[in-house]
């Protein structure tokens, strides 16, 4: 079910017209549907029922503490990639015992914070990181729970910036070196081996790469078991894609079923780390048309949201649907480049979109619930957008729009001038 739908010729989120949110809070504003978030999470939970599992929502997709809080209440764990994300999970009431910590560059301070919080597992990405973690845990008189993230050298068939499972990528340990690294880990006094971890990329729209990676990981698990390495879980990462336009990703139920065919008999707890497939379809970015402009024969709709608010189109040439909130028929249909105010030609939300527009119209960018606000910045000294969560017929501001004072916070001129 789509929680963004049209009623009386205007787009609503659940029972709230998007025009009401724009009127109350201005634009640009991110709007999330709590019902959509819950439904997307529960699709995974239902598919995993009956097997030992943990769903660790990937916080980097959308880290607003209202989003995290809602998922925590539904029983989610969390996949974090920084100390900042750990702080968000804790502030949102998340259970540290359900947190896994991924990422290639964990600092000493971040390791110590996560150890003190008592997280479920570190997904360690190199031998050097393993040695540092052993030392940091030793200094705290603790043992660090660890999975090694292996790089299976699989082409995820996705945008090169979000493919992580190829040998040439910076992520994980080459799978051929994993066995030796596990042997080293076993000899470390402050390392407690828990499992094996793998994540091959994001926005995957086919099951074959997941299954190919899983086959390689299963071979490794057999070898590790033959070596006597004690394993409790298998973490298969995130990465299931969503439909932005004409993509046709499998639903979470099919994805989980494909994994379970191979994992149910392993006797390991199955961890997954979905981010995009939980948050993307649960959010939109609301923006208003400031000006219409024609240069040579090109039509531009200049809107008040820009690449600093929503980076995906500029960074990945991503296509995201752009719809009028209140469609009109009294303007000519034109092919518009929908662009922001930022001083970069790469600052666009969409190009060549057939729309009927007038200045002042509200537009919404669909699928903006994941990698939207979290990738936003203050480039061009633009305050970041407000965030709103809708629940039924009510909406709640879950992050205030930034102010000019927020922009300048912490800065100062040189003394004596």
Ligand X SMILES: *Cc1c(COP(=O)(O)O)cnc(C)c1O
In the residue annotation, 343 being an active-site residue is answered as: yes
Measured from the CB of residue 150, what is the shortest distance to ligand X in angstroms? Answer: 12
**Dist CA 100 CA 122 (whole Å):** 6
249 near ligand X (CB under 6 A): no
Residue 249 or 324: the one with the smaller Cβ distance to ligand X is 249
Site string for ligand X, 379-408 (x = CB under 6 A): ------------------------------
**Dist CA 255 CA 260 (whole Å):** 9
Determine which residue in the list 40, 64, 70, 102 makes contact with ligand X, applying CB under 6 A.
Answer: 102
Measured from the CB of residue 156, what is the shortest distance to ligand X in angstroms? Answer: 10
| Pair of tokens at residue 305 | 């949201």
199 near ligand X (CB under 6 A): yes
Closest CA to 350 of 376, 375, 329, 319: 319
The neighbour count for residue 347, using CB atoms within 10 Å, is 18
Residue 340 or 367: the one with the smaller Cβ distance to ligand X is 367
Determine which residue in the list 58, 119, 224, 307 makes contact with ligand X, applying CB under 6 A.
Answer: 58
Residues numbered 71 to 90 that lie near ligand X (CB under 6 A) are: 79
Interface stretch with ligand X, choices 38-46, 176-184, 231-239, 259-267 (CB under 6 A): 231-239
60 near ligand X (CB under 6 A): yes
Determine which residue in the list 152, 209, 238, 340 makes contact with ligand X, applying CB under 6 A.
Answer: 238
61 near ligand X (CB under 6 A): yes
Determine which residue in the list 274, 313, 324, 372 makes contact with ligand X, applying CB under 6 A.
Answer: 274
106 near ligand X (CB under 6 A): no
235 near ligand X (CB under 6 A): no
Closest CA to 315 of 324, 304, 306, 323: 306
**Dist CA 106 CA 118 (whole Å):** 16
Measured from the CB of residue 380, what is the shortest distance to ligand X in angstroms? Answer: 27
Measured from the CB of residue 301, what is the shortest distance to ligand X in angstroms? Answer: 29
Residue 57 or 395: the one with the smaller Cβ distance to ligand X is 57
55 near ligand X (CB under 6 A): no
Determine which residue in the list 172, 239, 252, 367 makes contact with ligand X, applying CB under 6 A.
Answer: 239
Closest CA to 204 of 114, 272, 295, 115: 272
Determine which residue in the list 106, 276, 366, 384 makes contact with ligand X, applying CB under 6 A.
Answer: 276
| Pair of tokens at residue 69 | 């809080």
> 350 with 338: CB under 8 angstroms?
yes
40 near ligand X (CB under 6 A): no
Find residue 99's DSSP bridge partners: 78
Q: At what angle do helices 65-73 and 83-91 cross, to 10 degrees?
A: 60
Interface stretch with ligand X, choices 5-13, 37-45, 236-244, 349-357 (CB under 6 A): 236-244
- Considering the candidates 13, 181, 198, 343, report the single residue annotated as catalytic: 343
Measured from the CB of residue 383, what is the shortest distance to ligand X in angstroms? Answer: 26
Residue 195 or 238: the one with the smaller Cβ distance to ligand X is 238
367 near ligand X (CB under 6 A): no
372 near ligand X (CB under 6 A): no
The neighbour count for residue 375, using CB atoms within 10 Å, is 16
Q: Give catalytic residue positions.
A: 343
Q: What is the binding site for ligand X (CB under 6 A)? A: 58, 60-61, 79, 102, 199, 202, 237-240, 273-277
């Amino acid at each position: 079910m789509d929680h963004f739908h049209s009623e009386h010729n205007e787009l609503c989120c659940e029972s709230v017209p998007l025009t009401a949110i724009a009127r109350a809070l201005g634009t640009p504003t991110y709007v999330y549907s709590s019902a959509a978030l819950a439904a997307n999470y529960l699709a995974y939970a239902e598919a995993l029922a009956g097997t030992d599992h943990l769903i660790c929502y990937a916080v980097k997709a959308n880290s607003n503490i209202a989003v995290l809080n809602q998922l925590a209440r539904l029983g989610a764990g969390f996949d974090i990639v920084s100390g900042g994300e750990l702080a968000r999970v804790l502030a949102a009431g998340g259970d540290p015992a359900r947190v896994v910590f991924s990422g290639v560059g964990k600092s000493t301070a971040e390791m110590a914070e996560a150890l003190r919080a008592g997280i479920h597992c570190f997904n360690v990405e190199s031998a050097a990181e393993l040695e540092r973690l052993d030392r940091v845990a030793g200094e705290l008189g603790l043992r660090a729970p660890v999975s090694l993230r292996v790089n299976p050298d699989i082409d995820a068939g996705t945008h090169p910036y979000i493919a992580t499972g190829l040998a040439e990528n910076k992520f994980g340990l080459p799978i051929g070196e994993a066995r030796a690294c596990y042997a080293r880990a076993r000899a470390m006094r402050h390392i407690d081996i828990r499992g094996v971890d793998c994540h091959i990329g994001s926005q995957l729209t086919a099951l074959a790469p997941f299954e190919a990676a899983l086959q390689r990981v299963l071979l490794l698990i057999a070898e590790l078991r033959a070596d006597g390495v004690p394993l409790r879980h298998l973490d298969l990462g995130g990465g299931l894609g969503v439909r932005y336009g004409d993509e046709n990703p499998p639903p979470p139920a099919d994805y989980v079923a494909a994994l379970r065919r191979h994992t149910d008999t392993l006797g390991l707890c199955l961890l997954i780390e979905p981010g995009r497939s939980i948050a993307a379809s649960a959010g939109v970015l609301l923006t208003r048309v400031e000006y219409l402009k024609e240069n040579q024969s090109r039509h531009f709709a200049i809107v008040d949201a820009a690449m600093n608010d929503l980076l995906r189109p500029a960074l990945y040439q991503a296509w995201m649907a752009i719809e009028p909130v209140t469609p009109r028929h009294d303007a000519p249909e034109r092919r518009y480049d929908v662009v922001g105010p930022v001083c970069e030609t790469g600052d666009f939300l969409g190009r060549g979109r057939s729309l009927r527009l007038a200045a002042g119209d509200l537009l919404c960018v669909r699928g903006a619930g994941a990698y939207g606000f979290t990738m936003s910045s203050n480039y061009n000294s633009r305050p970041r957008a407000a965030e709103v969560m809708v629940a039924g017929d009510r909406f709640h501001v879950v992050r205030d729009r930034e102010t000019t004072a927020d922009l300048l916070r912490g800065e100062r001129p040189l003394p004596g001038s």
